[in-house]
């Protein structure tokens, strides 16, 4: 019996060790390990500071599983390649290893570029990079800069003044600044048709104007939507899913942002009617004033 007990104890101890080891390793995305970028390479060369050819494939290796179907779509949207004019063409896909993302560059023109990984790029276990990662590199050769890419057009911000428009209270006259992450001028007129303010009944507000898309210091494109004379109440800014960037990629889904317009001020409180006692006093006072005025007129 003692021998059987000893064997069982050894087996239980072994199972516990194996379980702890599996938990610690995390299975390429399990456990509580923070997500980190292990390497970014083109072939055997580190991407940072290198000169690569148009169409090159950048291999991003992470510490955890970043290609599980639960996070892959999110992660594709968090990988961008930019130059001084904003986001450029690239295609992001899953590698053969669960910890690998592949970034295929488009037919990029010669020049300086930056690979940007958003801080919300996530592993299967839910952990994220936390801080964005930027890696500078350059492209050599005679690329045209017209390559394709699968990163959707991203909305960077929508602001009224210095505040986010969402759930904000604004004045009846003002401007809304709408910023996207890449060039928007090639399809400008069609894009303008997909941007509008709507009232609580769903009717589009007339008389709004949009400025030509302009690049900011970060390479993003923005337009200013001006409006005037809005009545107090609830409104929605609508951005259509077919808003299209210069590289042909679209927003992909409708965006609606609710806000309110402030009233013209506090309503004046109605004057309180005098009560019965006050009315009676005033009536007596008026009666005596009438008698006094009568005698004044009689002896005048």
159 and 122 in a common domain:
no
Of 96-100, 137-141, 182-186, give the range with the top mean pLDDT.
96-100
Inside any domain, residue 8: no
167 and 124 in a common domain:
no
Question: At a CB cut-off of 8 Å and minimum separation 6, what does 42 contact?
Answer: 50, 52, 56, 57, 58, 59
127 and 225 in a common domain:
no
Query: How many C-beta neighbours within 10 Å does residue 222 have?
Result: 18
245 and 162 in a common domain:
yes
Selection from 242, 258, 245 nearest residue 187 by Cα:
245
Asked whether 163 and 176 are in contact (CB, 8 A), the reply is no
Of 94-98, 148-152, 246-250, give the range with the top mean pLDDT.
94-98
Inside any domain, residue 150: no
- Mean pLDDT for the stretch of residues 182-197: 90
Inside any domain, residue 266: no
- Mean pLDDT for the stretch of residues 95-114: 91
Inside any domain, residue 299: no
SS3 state of residue 123: coil
Q: For residue 108, name the pLDDT band (cuts at 50, 70, 90).
A: confident
Q: For residue 90, name the pLDDT band (cuts at 50, 70, 90).
A: confident
Q: For residue 104, name the pLDDT band (cuts at 50, 70, 90).
A: very high
Domain containing 51 equals 37-139
Selection from 148, 124, 67 nearest residue 101 by Cα:
67
228 and 131 in a common domain:
no
186 and 104 in a common domain:
no
- Mean pLDDT for the stretch of residues 141-166: 74
Inside any domain, residue 112: yes
Burial class (CB in 10 A: 0-12, 13-18, 19+), 197: buried
For the chain, what is the largest distance between any 2 Cα atoms, rounded to a whole number of angstroms? 138
245 and 161 in a common domain:
yes
* pLDDT(10) > 50: no
Better-predicted residue by pLDDT, 194 or 185:
194
- Mean pLDDT for the stretch of residues 194-212: 95
Compute CA 93 distance to the chain's CA centroid, rounded to the nearest angstrom.
22
Determine the Cα–Cα distance for residues 25 and 6; give it in Å rounded to an integer.
29
Number of folded domains that form the chain: 2
Better-predicted residue by pLDDT, 279 or 178:
178
171 and 130 in a common domain:
no
Measure Cα distances from 267 to 228, 259, 260, 264, 270 in Å. 22, 22, 18, 9, 9
Report the CATH number that the domain containing residue 198 is assigned in CATH.
2.60.40.1220
- Mean pLDDT for the stretch of residues 233-260: 90
- Picking from 229, 246, 261, the residue at the C-terminal end of a domain is 261
Determine the Cα–Cα distance for residues 29 and 77; give it in Å rounded to an integer.
19
Inside any domain, residue 6: no
* pLDDT(5) > 60: no
175 and 127 in a common domain:
no
* pLDDT(2) > 70: no
> Taking all residues of the chain, what is their mean pLDDT, rounded to a whole number?
82
């Amino acid at each position: 019996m003692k021998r059987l007990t000893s064997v069982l104890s050894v087996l239980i101890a072994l199972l516990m060790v194996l379980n702890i080891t599996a938990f610690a390793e995390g299975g390429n995305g399990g456990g509580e390990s923070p997500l980190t970028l292990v390497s970014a390479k083109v072939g055997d060369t580190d991407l940072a500071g290198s000169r690569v050819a148009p169409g090159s494939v950048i291999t991003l290796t992470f510490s955890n599983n970043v290609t599980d179907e639960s996070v892959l779509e999110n992660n594709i949207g968090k990988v961008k390649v930019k130059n001084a004019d904003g986001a450029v063409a690239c295609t992001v896909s899953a590698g053969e290893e669960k910890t690998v993302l592949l970034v295929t560059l488009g037919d990029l023109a010669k020049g300086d570029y930056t690979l940007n990984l958003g801080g919300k790029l996530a592993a299967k276990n839910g952990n994220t990079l936390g801080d964005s990662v930027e890696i500078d590199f350059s492209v050599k050769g005679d690329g045209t800069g017209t390559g394709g890419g699968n990163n959707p057009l991203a909305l960077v911000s929508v602001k009224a003044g210095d505040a986010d428009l969402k759930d904000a209270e604004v004045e009846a006259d003002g401007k809304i600044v709408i910023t996207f992450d890449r060039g928007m001028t090639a399809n400008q007129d069609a894009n303008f048709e997909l941007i509008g303010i709507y009232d609580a009944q769903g009717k589009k507000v007339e008389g709004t104007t949009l400025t030509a898309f302009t690049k900011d210091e970060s390479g993003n494109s923005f337009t200013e939507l001006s409006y005037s004379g809005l009545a107090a109440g609830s409104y929605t800014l609508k951005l259509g899913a077919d808003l299209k960037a210069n590289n042909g990629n679209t927003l992909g889904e409708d965006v609606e942002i609710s806000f309110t317009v402030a009233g013209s001020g506090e309503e004046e409180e109605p004057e309180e009617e005098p009560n019965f006692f006050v009315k009676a006093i005033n009536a007596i006072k008026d009666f005596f004033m009438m008698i006094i005025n009568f005698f004044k007129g009689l002896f005048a």
